[in-house]
Structure 1
Amino acid sequence: MKVRFTLAFSLVCLMFFYTGALTAQYEFVYGDPLPDAPELSARGEHTVGVRTINLVHKDQVDILNSKGGKDAMYDRPLTVEIWYPADVPAGTEVSVNYEEVMGTRGDTLRPLVPFSFKGRALRDATPKSGTAFPLIVVSHGYVGSRYLMTYLTENLASKGYVVVSIDHTDSTFKDANAFPSTLLNRAKDIKFVINEMARLGGSDSKDQLAGLVDDENTGIVGYSMGGYGVLNVGGAGYSDGAAAFFGQMTGGSTAIASLAASNPEYQNSIDPRIKAVVAFAPWGMARGVWDAEGLKGLKKPTLFIAGSQDDISGYEDGIKAIYKGAVNADRYLLTYKNARHNVAPNPPPVESLAPGLHIDEYYRYADSTWDQRKINNINQHFVTAFLGTHLKGDDNSEYLTIPENSNEKDWPGFKPRSSTGMELLKADGLE
């Protein structure tokens, strides 16, 4: 009996020693590949730099302080995070700590809980020179932050993109405010940031980003309310019903009318520099934000990504209905079977597991069915294939052509037995 106990104890000690040694050698960072990660999820050839800048969008409607149908005006602050290909001396540790919070605003809603997590980028590294890289602008959900999808922003920057993620004022964990601000400003913020990046990254700029940004090849990526925003920027004008509802919410403001499909000026405002749209779980269709005519205005190639059990944006009457209605766009719909709304964020932070925290701190990130790390890897794969096709002219057709309901054989680029539980639909636009 004593011999058996000694042998068992030795095996346990050996297991802990091996696990500890492995942990010391390798630390999982958001976006790192799991053993079954698909082919295009791997990071690219570029070392990634990251910097934070503060922008000001002057003379905007201050919808939260407008009264009686008369719009107040203000200078709207926006903080953005920029990831980019960088020149980094050999031997430099490429690591960054992102400072984030859980909770919502912290006063009348849920307390703010600070936490940090690591990334594989170098803060304020020198940008690569001599090449302009396609631009990608990323818009988070309500509530969220510019750090909600670092697994994707870092990954894309490593593949030769300048990636800019916005902290949408009045929509972040720290400053969440009344919903009309998000409804009005989401698309406006995205357009403004595209223009600011074109200015800062232009060849005649005095900024560190000078010459780095190819804004003529721009992709826009949005999640939830970010999806609501990028679809509008891409050409899907809001319905007259949505504009009327906004007016009721705000005491008669017509500020959102410029984003409505029925506005003659709206279609003239669609930016030709935008070559591709990625919409994760876009919100609004089930609430009447779009009608058939509005969806016909979306003519940019679009990748929709959704969970079949999305209980926030809706699936059949929400995201899939947008996909079906956007008849003039070449489009894809990637569906995670039995997933809910959270098909875009980073994995849940370890701090969200602490006893006593509201479960929504965990469910701000986690899916109830899927491993979020696996979702992250699959997103990296398909977003890489899609954006590479439309922003760089890559031939990724083999990765984007999957027979409907195909779980009978492995999908191109996927490890054996790893491509189950998903569906990828494709439809060509009529124009």
Structure 2
Amino acid sequence: MKIRPLLLSLSLIAFLLNGFAITSINAQTHDFLYGDPMPDAPELSARGEFKVGVQTINLVNKDQVDILNSKEGKDPVYNRPITIEVWYPANIGENANTVIYNEVMGTAGDTLRPLTPFTFKGRAYRDAQPKTGTKFPLVVVSHGYVGSRYLMTYLTENLASKGYIVAAIGHTDSTFKDANAFQSTLLNRPKDIRFVINEMEKLGAQGSKSNLEGLVDANNTAIIGYSMGGYGVLNVGGAGYSEALMGFFAGMTGGSTAISVNTANNEEYKKLTDDRIKAIVAFAPWGMERGVWDAEGLKGLKTPTFFVAGSQDDISGYEKGIKAIYEGAVNADRFMLTYKNARHNVAPNPPPAEALAPGLHIDEYFRYAEPSWDQRKINNINQHFVTAFLGKHLKNQENSKFLEVQENSNEKDWTGFKPRSSTGMELLHANPTN
């Protein structure tokens, strides 16, 4: 009498195990790449109509201050190399293969976290023929310290598929591969961003003989920055640095005043206002807690800006950091999206599989991962809101319904989100005072 139930149980177990095995195989073979939509991805996160090409371009910014060799306030100059990765709408042949990105974990010179190569797949096509016949708005992307031009491919590929030319900068002295003393990042971050905007305009100009000729609408530009990239894009957008930062910088460099060109009180800085820039996205911008900005400096930010923050950010700070920047930028039309309980990593790709390897330093995982959020969900939400914001300011799209939602996402489903999926967030909006 007891044998039959036992046999049935064993049969059921075998069936369940077999089903689990099939499910596991399907999960492993499903080609889910960075930036692909999760089942609960919001509406505007979906890829656009264009196939995407990608190319690497090596640039040189001549006669720049060589701050790493500055001595006793004397600043030598050098030709600064800068590598950018450019994504763009493209025409793709039938037999083309999608790109494999070559990346590293770790930090140059760090014995505890040595450089560890890895690769990951994208949905772009290496060196594909650009789609001609129209100009596309320009988006320039600046990574954190340390980071790389491949840190946010979920977003760069996505934006290019929606009709943007996207240039992500590999900031010399700030990447995983060439990390160097912090004063180089402090000085060069906004300078690199301005330089790349200008170079992209040249590449897109008639007669440039570049394959981007006639395609880049640099007069319709957005700049996106993460962490130290946020520090850079806010300055390029008009938020001049404080005198306190200049003093700190001089102390680091033996008296150099090279950073004064980007301080709010410098008349030369005021001449750097760039009317080509129509929108700014600042992910977890660094510096407010360290005195990088003061009230007067933040008043100079007048370009529409979308801030993204984690409420538990322990790198840039939240209440006295990112939120204080948002509140102090009184002359800008601005939004701030907050991921509740997230820390600093509200912008990168998900952790690569290699970051899960036993024995690897846990900070390789935490370079990317958020402890309270699925990074893939954050990526989809970022795609949604950046698409809405840039579409409004660079393409004149009517996206108000996606941006003008109630502050607390727990109260009611946000427009564009699937039922019950828009929890744990806050979206603030403030109009300019002047």
TM over 0.5, shorter chain: yes
Q: Measure, in 2, the Cα distance between the counterparts of 1:404 and 1:21.
A: 39
- Secondary structure in 2 aligned to 1:246? helix
- Name the structure 2 match of 1:8: 13
Q: Measure, in 1, the Cα distance between the counterparts of 2:403 and 2:95.
A: 37
**Pairing of 1:250-269 with structure 2 (within 5 A):** 250-269=253-272
**CA apart distance, 1:253:** 0.3
RMSD over aligned Cα atoms: 1.1
Structure 2 residue runs of 5 or longer lacking an equivalent are 1-5
**CA apart distance, 1:394:** 0.4
- Name the structure 2 match of 1:71: 75
Q: Measure, in 2, the Cα distance between the counterparts of 1:317 and 1:4.
A: 59
Q: Measure, in 2, the Cα distance between the counterparts of 1:104 and 1:264.
A: 38
Q: Measure, in 2, the Cα distance between the counterparts of 1:340 and 1:348.
A: 15
- Name the structure 2 match of 1:348: 351
Cα pair 1:94 1:120 within 8 Å, conserved: no
- Name the structure 2 match of 1:292: 295
CA distance 1:111–1:422, change in 2 (3 Å): same
- Name the structure 1 match of 2:3: none
Give the letter aligned to residue 156 of structure 1: L
- Name the structure 1 match of 2:385: 382
Q: Measure, in 1, the Cα distance between the counterparts of 2:328 and 2:81.
A: 35
- Name the structure 1 match of 2:214: 211
Aligned partner (choices 43, 46, 49) of residue 42 of structure 1: 46
Of 199-208 and 43-52, more deviation after overlay is shown by: 199-208
Cα pair 2:67 2:76 within 8 Å, conserved: yes
Report whether the alignment pairs 1:245 with 2:217: no
**Pairing of 1:387-402 with structure 2 (within 5 A):** 387-402=390-405
Q: Measure, in 1, the Cα distance between the counterparts of 2:60 and 2:96.
A: 33
Q: Measure, in 2, the Cα distance between the counterparts of 1:7 and 1:273.
A: 66
TM-score, length of structure 2 as denominator length:
0.97
Give the letter aligned to residue 71 of structure 1: D
Give the letter aligned to residue 280 of structure 2: V
**Pairing of 1:125-274 with structure 2 (within 5 A):** 125-274=128-277
Cα pair 1:223 1:282 within 8 Å, conserved: yes
Q: Measure, in 2, the Cα distance between the counterparts of 1:119 and 1:106.
A: 29
Number of positions where the alignment pairs a residue of Structure 1 with one of Structure 2: 429
Q: Measure, in 2, the Cα distance between the counterparts of 1:343 and 1:317.
A: 18
Q: Measure, in 1, the Cα distance between the counterparts of 2:319 and 2:392.
A: 28
TM-score, length of structure 1 as denominator length:
0.98
Q: Measure, in 2, the Cα distance between the counterparts of 1:213 and 1:153.
A: 16
**CA apart distance, 1:2:** 3.8
Cα pair 2:409 2:424 within 8 Å, conserved: no
Once the two structures are superposed, residues 136-191 of structure 1 have per-residue CA deviations (whole angstroms, 9 ceiling, x without a partner) of 00000000000000000000000000000011000000111000000000000000
**CA apart distance, 1:106:** 3.9
Give the letter aligned to residue 7 of structure 1: L
Aligned partner (choices 388, 392, 407) of residue 410 of structure 2: 407
CA distance 1:406–1:6, change in 2 (3 Å): closer
- Name the structure 1 match of 2:100: 97
- Secondary structure in 2 aligned to 1:410? coil
Q: Measure, in 2, the Cα distance between the counterparts of 1:332 and 1:395.
A: 16
- Secondary structure in 2 aligned to 1:269? coil
**CA apart distance, 1:108:** 4.6
| % identical aligned pairs | 72
Aligned partner (choices 84, 105, 118) of residue 80 of structure 1: 84
Cα pair 1:222 1:278 within 8 Å, conserved: yes
- Name the structure 1 match of 2:66: 62
**Pairing of 1:298-309 with structure 2 (within 5 A):** 298-309=301-312
Q: Measure, in 2, the Cα distance between the counterparts of 1:399 and 1:206.
A: 40
Give the letter aligned to residue 67 of structure 1: K
Once the two structures are superposed, residues 283-333 of structure 1 have per-residue CA deviations (whole angstroms, 9 ceiling, x without a partner) of 000000000000000000000000000000000000000000000000000
**CA apart distance, 1:94:** 4.8
**CA apart distance, 1:195:** 0.4
Q: Measure, in 2, the Cα distance between the counterparts of 1:21 and 1:109.
A: 37
- Name the structure 2 match of 1:332: 335
Once the two structures are superposed, residues 78-126 of structure 1 have per-residue CA deviations (whole angstroms, 9 ceiling, x without a partner) of 111000000112x335511000000000455620010000100000000
Cα pair 1:278 1:303 within 8 Å, conserved: yes
Cα pair 1:99 1:117 within 8 Å, conserved: yes
Give the letter aligned to residue 46 of structure 1: F
- Secondary structure in 2 aligned to 1:14? helix
Once the two structures are superposed, residues 216-258 of structure 1 have per-residue CA deviations (whole angstroms, 9 ceiling, x without a partner) of 0000000000000000000000001111110111000010000
Cα pair 1:142 1:224 within 8 Å, conserved: yes
- Secondary structure in 1 aligned to 2:155? helix
